Structure 1
Amino acid sequence: MENADTIAAIATSPGRGAIGIVRISGKDLGFLALKITGQVPQPRYASLSKFFDENGQLIDQGIMLYFPAPHSYTGEDVLELQGHGGPAVMSLLLSSCVSAGARLAQPGEFTLRAFLNNKMDLAQAEAVADVIDASTDEAARCAMRSLQGVFSAAIHGLVQALTDLRMLVEASLDFPEEDLDIVWRADVSGKLNDIHAQLETVFASARQGSLLREGLWVVLVGKPNVGKSSLLNRLAGEEAAIVTEIPGTTRDTVLRSIEIEGVPLHLLDTAGLRETDDVIEKIGIARTRSAIEKAGLVLLLMDSREGITPEDQAVLDSVPAGVRRIHVYTKSDLLEEVPRIISYQKQGNWQEIYLSAKTGAGVESLRRILLEMAGWNPHMGEGLFMARGRHLVALAEAGGHLKSAAGLAEYGDQLEVLAEELRLAQRWLSSITGEFTADDLLGEIFSRFCIGK
């Protein structure tokens, strides 16, 4: 890809810091470097340099690094100016770059150029943002594996296997007079089964990686004063929510993110559900109901001393049937009973647990159940890679086309349709790495990157 323009951006976080970096990418940056520093940059050599503005006034002194094309992050000439990390200094240095002929970069534009210049594929480009945004150690390691190409290699393996199979089917279309019937059917069916098994393995890893990236949204609901805020504080390990004996203390949602075995969980404490004339509390209750609709998992809290009261049943009935749930009986320390877990398989997966947020009894069991219901498999950790929602959709669509192809392969009399199903499966897989990707999708993906990356 050829770019006529040169882009520049501050590549370090906003605010004060010991070091700040301005990154420039474009063509023939030697002249731009000479205007800003008064020096011709040496490739891959850290030079102590002075940085000047357009009027020749000294801005700062720091390190200049020059990476000539194509051996750079973007595949173009890349110049990095490392100075003192004050906001005013960085702003002046960026302005000097613009005066020298660069323009301000758009969010993600450096990585977009790296993708367009074949320095990385689309899955790896997305992993750059995932490494930056990782909220847990395990998520960071998982994102780095994607950046190193583990996910892409798995996809390329599937695409190559599909390419080989398509060649066999296309040969049968081109030479229908050849007697390929028995051998052809066995070969195609067997290869399809192998490819589908490989795809299922990749899909399982991708779902785990998606969980590490997105986390699970867990909403705590129940009538007032059943211990929602106390449980949130116990799980978060801090006084995140105010706890009193007064019903209706929590009037708005309180969000805290935690991690369990490297899996991020976003806990949302909500206003107690009840009939009320309080205008502010009504707003909080409305937000509670909205949060339930979007939740990945709902914790329905009830006082273990009372069992399921009519008020509790009204809360239970308000939760949509498709939402996964755990029935949590709180304050079990007041019953003087050992906390227990009861598992059910009625109307979908849901469980009951008795615990005490005050003493912590049963809370570790709840953590284990949260991971289990999130779908986390700790035995897959070493081979995981980061994945996004669009990757899961593409893998699912490819799997659907492979399933249709397998049905057609049993008969072998609709070769054109079979060939089309294989082509569509391959196209969906290739969209993950960016071989077949619409421009509007690229714009959506890279617009979410930070500026300077």
Structure 2
Amino acid sequence: MNDLDTIASISTAIGMGAIGIIRVSGDRAIEIVDKIFKMPSKKSLAEMPTHTIHYGHIVDQNNEVIDEVLLMLMKAPRTFTREDVVEINCHGGIVPMELILMNIIKNGARIAERGEFTKRAFLNGRIDLSQVEAVMDIVEAKTELSLKQAINQLEGRLTREIKKYQDELIDIIAKIEVSIDYPEYDDDDILIEDLLGKIKQMRQNLEQLLATSDNGKMIREGVKTAIIGKPNVGKSSLLNILLEENKAIVTNIAGTTRDVVEAYLNIDGIPFVLLDTAGIRETQDIVEQIGIDRSKKCIEEADLILIILDSSDEIDQEDMNLINLTINKNVIYVLNKTDLEFKTCEDDILEYNKASKIVNISTKIPKGIDTLKLEMKNIFKSIEIASNVTISNQRQKESLIKSIQSLDQGISTLEEGLSVDYIAIDLHEAYGHLGMIAGEVLKEEIIDNLFGRFCLGK
């Protein structure tokens, strides 16, 4: 494989559809497609102006027509990859798309690797790494909110914010370097006070940016919502009702759910990832115990917990164990089976937690489901894109944390009365960690792993 190869791939979903798109990018893209594309005018693609659409036919080596197509011609550098790009719009069947692609490969291109078009855009300076991640987030967006966040990042707003802080760091570093070279022009006390003020202000700004990471992650990945409870209290039934489909197996046998069942739910634009967990109880069954251990892990990682309690039964020690496991978490107590005689009511739960959020439901009738959805939504109604700039994933968050730690080290250096020479090192490190967010310096294996998440035609 060579990064200078001309690459090609089907960019639309494989299957039957009205239109299919085959994308070709590279120095030889126009030359290769010219060999199999015939226009009524008999002209060559190389003669045509950039960013134009042309009607014609794709033919094989025997000049037999494969398909009638529209071809979009985009010449470098005003393209996504900053290379010559040709996109062939053909009929969306599997056979015509694969035949066209095969003929492009025969004439000198190679099949693109996963994400290679976007990787070339990154390597050729068309987009930075945060924008690369935004491309994937747009593809995977499940709500308007997650799409808006991805679009903001694709437009480079995060990059511009990071660049602003890097420029401020450069100004501070330059001032330190001048004071080292020309110490006679600066009063040390005034210089240190000025540096401390600027660095602490920058640290505060970065902390504010870091504070967007939790919301950014939930917008991007969904609010992780664990549905927990004893066996046979209606956890899987609730999941199915919320989704309006039979996602989980439901029986009267306790311990039916042995593993975590994951599903996606959109409540008025807020994304929730529902996790139906194995019933938590004491058991000698090895397989069931594995499921219970996974349930407990879900509790630790969840943004929201729905504790399902059987209102037709009294609260027992197993219920209390669950309540204790979820202390200091976002919890909604869901009293199920309210179509039966009450043995546990809201007052019983309030004895344990006066601030409890409680919803009465019945998965059998069903009733109370809309109330539960509203309660879930209200807890996270503050999730919004508070500004145009959001930290949306763990990689960005870790880089920002490391930058703040470097600033903290610099502040300690100044406050301990050490020479300003030392702080320059800390500030350079802070600058580098900020640059990692946009991918200024990145290990090759991290880049390969990131682009490996993409589909072939992207």
So what's the TM-score if we normalise by structure 2?
Answer: 0.86
1:114 alignment counterpart: 121
CA contact under 8 A between 2:115 and 2:454: conserved in structure 1? yes
Query: Which residue of the partner structure matches residue 236 of structure 2?
Result: 229
Gaps of 5+ in 1: none
Distance, in Å, in 1 between the alignment partners of 2:179 and 2:44 is 62
Q: CA deviation at 1:191?
A: 1.1
**Following the alignment from structure 1 to structure 2, what is the Cα–Cα distance between the partners of residues 141 and 111?**
20
Q: 1:291 to 1:101 in 2, by over 3 A?
A: farther
Shift of 1:36: 1.3
Superposition pairs for residues 40-439 of structure 1, below 5 Å?
40-41=44-45, 42=48, 43-274=50-281, 283-295=287-299, 296-297=301-302, 298-313=305-320, 319=325, 324=329, 326=331, 328-331=333-336, 333=338, 334-335=341-342, 351=356, 353-358=358-363, 360-361=367-368, 364=371, 368=375, 372=379, 377-378=382-383, 380-381=385-386, 383=388, 385=390, 387-439=392-444
Q: Is the 8 A contact 1:224 1:271 kept in 2?
A: yes
CA contact (8 A) 2:166 2:434 kept: yes
> Which residue does 1:22 correspond to in 2?
22
Shift of 1:147: 0.6
For the residues of structure 2 that align with 1:329 and 1:441, how far apart are their CA atoms? Answer: 43
Secondary structure class of the residue paired with 1:197:
helix
**Counterpart residue type for residue 27 of structure 2:** K
The aligned amino acid for 2:56 is: S
Q: Secondary structure at the match of 1:302?
A: strand
The separation in 1 between residues aligned to 2:404 and 2:125, in whole angstroms, is 27
- Asked if structure 2 preserves the Cα contact closer than 8 Å seen for 1:127 and 1:386, the reply is no
Contact 1:225 1:272 in 2 (8 A): yes
- SS at 1:71 equivalent: coil
C-alpha displacement of 1:397: 1.2
Whether the 8 Å CA contact 2:138–2:147 is kept in 1: the answer is yes
- Specify whether residues 225 and 155 from structure 1 end up closer, same or farther in structure 2 by C-alpha distance, changes over 3 A only: same
Structure 2: distance between partners of 1:103 and 1:364: 55
Matched residue SS, 2:153: helix
Change (3 A) 1:131 1:360: same
Distance change in 2, residues 1:316/1:169 (3 Å): same
Displacement after TM superposition at 1:187 (Å): 1.7
CA offset at residue 145 of structure 1?
Answer: 0.9
Letter in 2 for 1:69: A
- What residue number does 2:13 align with? 13
For the 8 Å contact 2:278–2:295, the answer to whether it is kept is no
Tell me, in whole angstroms, the C-alpha distance in 2 between the residues paired with 1:436 and 1:77.
27
Cα 1:14–1:213 change in 2 (3 A) is: same
CA distance in 2, matches of 1:423, 1:300: 48
**How far apart are 1:228 and its partner, in Å?**
1.2
Greater mean deviation of Cα atoms: 127-136 or 40-49: 40-49
8 A contact 1:227–1:330 mirrored in 2: no
SS of equivalent to 1:46: strand
| Contact 1:260/1:371 (<8 A) preserved | no
Quote the offset at 1:345 in angstroms.
Answer: 8.9
* Mapped partners of 1:55, 1:178: distance in 2: 81
CA distance in 2, matches of 1:72, 1:380: 30
Tell me, what secondary structure is at the counterpart of 1:378? coil
RMSD (Å) for aligned C-alpha atoms: 3.1
In 2, the alpha carbon distance for the partners of 1:109 and 1:227 equals 46
Q: CA deviation at 1:91?
A: 0.7
Gaps of 5+ in 2: none
Which residue identity is paired with 2:118? T
Q: 1:267 is aligned with what amino acid?
A: L
- By how many angstroms is 1:98 displaced? 0.6
Query: Larger deviation: 82-91 or 232-241?
Result: 232-241
Determine the structure 1 residue equivalent to 2:37. Answer: 37
* TM-score of the two chains, using structure 1 as the length reference: 0.87
User: How far apart are 1:329 and its partner, in Å?
Assistant: 4.6
182-191 vs 293-302, greater mean Cα deviation: 293-302
Amino acid at match of 2:20: G
2:446 aligned residue: 441
Larger mean Cα displacement after TM superposition, 235-244 or 425-434: 235-244
The alignment of Structure 1 onto Structure 2 pairs a total of residues equal to 442
**Counterpart Cα distance in 1 of 2:235 and 2:174:** 60
1-structure distance, mates of 2:98, 2:164: 46
Give, in whole Å, the separation in 2 of the partners of 1:211 and 1:329.
23
The answer as to whether partners of 1:139 and 1:386 remain within 8 angstroms in 2 is: no
Q: Is the 8 A contact 1:223 1:274 kept in 2?
A: yes
2:255/2:288 contact within 8 Å kept: no
- How far apart in 2 are the matches of 1:418 and 1:360? 63
User: Percent identity, aligned pairs only?
Assistant: 33
